[in-house]
Amino acid sequence: MDKEFTLGLGIIHAEQGEVRAFLPDFVSKMSRFFKTVFLEDGYGEGLGIESDYYAKSPNVLFGSAEEVYAQNFVLVLRYPPEKYLEKMPPKSCLMSMCHFPTRPERRAFLKERGIEAISLDTILDDNGQRLVENLRSVAWNGCEVAFQVLHQIMPGLDSPNRDPLQITLLGSGGVGTHAVQAAIRYGNPEIWSAYANNKVPGNILRVVDYDLTAHKDQLKKLLSSTNLLIDATQRSNPSQIIIPNKYLALMPENAVILDLSVDPYDFQRKPYEVKGIEGIPQGDLDQYIFSPDDSAWENIPKEISTRFRRWVVSCYSWPGIHPRACMLRYGNQISPLLRRLVSVGGVDNINPGGGFHERALARGMLKYWRE
């Protein structure tokens, strides 16, 4: 393997609670593929592992953001702010969660700068399954927090004399499939087992998809008895609301809404992008629990109705709740992809009709992106 390429690993410059960084073992492995691996100063500090990188390989170096973004390949889990991308020279390659389908402005910016990009979220196998994903953690971490809130606002949740909890899950795709198991098990298998041993009634889970959500009368009946409402939908049209805000008035006052789709509000262009459940706050790793009287409701765009409110659990980056486990998984998934990139001689030599990893990488490349 001709080690002529260099790799830069940038810090995720987002909310304070975002501490994820690729782990030292992953960086050590990359140092065998790349001539040099540059880590942005402070990389891994939030996880308390910054010093661990030094012991792994002599060609692992710390440097400024300018040095990191000057490398042939730059890997940052979450899409970096443009001021960092402006440091990248033309024909270099960014690997990140670019979200090409819903972020045309990102595609335009990268093309204008002459930067090739590989969107980690659209690297797909021949069956259309993502190779870089943590959908299980999205569902389990979200349900774990949602049930923590339910325990707080519903006294007696651990009582064998209570009625079963009624859970309504919107969406049956990748995240929804994991959410079925997570919701039945309270987001925590140990709690589920303990409750079962104590004869606490379980949870009744109703899974509905777009073929039912369009029938408003049926939807209203479901909401009136829903203790936990989970949005795991993947909308083809993010401007379309699934549940109007006024329907939230039908839910019990101590109900919880769990936002797993975490589609952001975007009022930069029309049609506006909104959440599937109208009027709920957008959370992140700094705050992902919102009471009905939280000030975050006032920050929602005025065009959105927020009149009816329930407890909401929402986080833009659910896997980041448990950062080490998350980055171990992502590192294992990304490692063979980067190795293939180097072995074929760089991104320009990726063949969309080549081997398994080349075909998958091509599906994520800006160069081959089609609407």
Record the tokens describing residue 111, joined without a space: 């093309």
The answer to whether residue 2 scores a pLDDT higher than 60 is no
Q: Which helix or strand (DSSP H or E) is residue 109 part of?
A: helix 104-113
293 and 337 belong to one structural domain: no
Task: Tell me, yes or no, whether 294 and 200 share the same domain.
Answer: yes
Q: Is residue 17 part of a domain?
A: yes
> What is the span of the domain harbouring residue 348?
6-122+323-368
Within a domain: residue 195? yes
Q: Tell whether 145 is covered by a domain.
A: yes
Query: How far apart (Å, rounded) are the C-alpha atoms in residues 203 and 186?
Result: 8
Assess if residue 1 is contained within a domain. Answer: no
CB 309 within 8 Å of CB 250: no
Whether 158 maps to a domain, the answer reads: yes
Q: Kindly report the number of other CB atoms within 10 A of residue 152's CB atom.
A: 14
255 part of a folded domain? yes
Read off the tokens for 177: 């499939």
Over residues 144-171, the pLDDT tens digits come to 999 999 999 999 999 999 999 999 999 9
Same domain assignment for residues 175 and 109: no
CATH number of the domain residue 186 falls in: 3.40.50.720
Considering 320, 339, 356, which residue would you say is the last residue of a domain? 320
Q: Is residue 48, in this structure, part of any structural domain at all?
A: yes
pLDDT at position 216 over 80? yes
Same domain, residue pair 241 and 143: yes
Domains in the chain, number: 2
Q: What is the pTM of this model?
A: 0.93
Are 216 and 301 in the same domain? yes
- Strand, coil or helix: 228: strand
Mean pLDDT of 9-24: 97
- The tens digit of pLDDT for each residue in 77-123 reads 999 999 999 999 999 999 999 999 888 899 999 999 999 999 999 99
129 assigned to some structural domain: no
Determine the Cα–Cα distance for residues 319 and 331; give it in Å rounded to an integer.
Answer: 13
Select from 320, 335, 353 the last residue of a domain.
320
Pair (202, 314) in one structural domain: yes
- Report yes or no: 96 and 81 within 8 Å, Cβ to Cβ: no
- Please check whether residues 243 and 210 belong to one and the same domain: yes
Domain match, 332 and 350 both:
yes
56-73 pLDDT, tens digit each: 788 999 999 999 999 999
Q: What is the mean pLDDT of residues 176-203?
A: 97
Q: Are residues 315 and 348 in the same domain?
A: no
Is the domain of 252 the same as that of 316? Answer: yes
Indicate if 164 and 220 belong to the same structural domain.
Answer: yes
